[in-house]
Amino acid sequence: MKTNIYKYFRFCLLAVALVSLASCEVSFYDDDDIGGSYYQKSAALCSRIWADSYIDRDGNRCYQELTFYLDRHGEDYIRVEYPNGRVTEDVYYFDWHWTDRSQYSLEMYYGPGDVSYLDDVWISGNVLSGYLDGHDNYVDFIGI
């Protein structure tokens, strides 16, 4: 009798453990997980498309959209209008991550030898700002 109860108890315990594990959901994992605030900042970053318009150093009108996804992928859409009327549109794909525990710097890896950094990241309301690829290029992206 004692053996049957022990077997039944083990079976119930195993069933509860399997149901518990099956209901666990890991929606995001990375090596620099530092707690709840990390997920909140990443969620804010990934909550919308970030857009900016500017004139490049060659005098071309440019429009850029950055889209970040929680799975650490992203898209960089760039539209360039040249003075002669020609227009180009390109989409570049990248992988991203926070570079340090303070979460004030993002690394966007486009491919071998092609990495961009957004430093001093600040997300406030509907604005994503920081220094893009150097401290002489401060940008403000507006959420759309």
CATH assignment of the domain containing 69: 2.40.128.20
Instruction: Judge residue 105's burial from the number of C-beta atoms within 10 Å of its C-beta, 0-12 exposed, 13-18 middle, 19 or more buried.
Output: middle
Provide the token pair at 131. 């220094």
Domain count along the chain:
1
Q: Report yes or no on 63 lying in a domain.
A: yes
The pLDDT value recorded for residue 131 is 97
From CA 55, how far away is CA 57, in angstroms rounded? 7
**pTM of the predicted model, to two decimals?**
0.72
Residues forming beta bridges with residue 38, ordered by sequence position: none
From CA 108, how far away is CA 121, in angstroms rounded? 13
Domain range for 132 is 36-143
Strand stretches in 2-144, DSSP E = 49-55, 61-68, 73-81, 87-98, 105-111, 114-124, 127-132, 138-143
Q: Are strands 114-124 and 127-132 parallel, antiparallel or unpaired?
A: antiparallel
> What single-letter DSSP state applies at residue 85?
S
Provide the token pair at 78. 């760039």
Q: Report yes or no on 27 lying in a domain.
A: no
**What is the distance of C-alpha 48 from the center of its chain?**
11
Q: Report yes or no on 82 lying in a domain.
A: yes
- Residue by residue, pLDDT tens for the chain (144 residues) are 555 565 554 554 444 444 443 333 333 334 445 455 555 688 899 999 999 999 999 999 999 999 999 999 999 999 999 999 999 999 999 999 998 777 889 999 999 999 999 999 999 989 999 999 998 999 999 999
Q: Report yes or no on 5 lying in a domain.
A: no
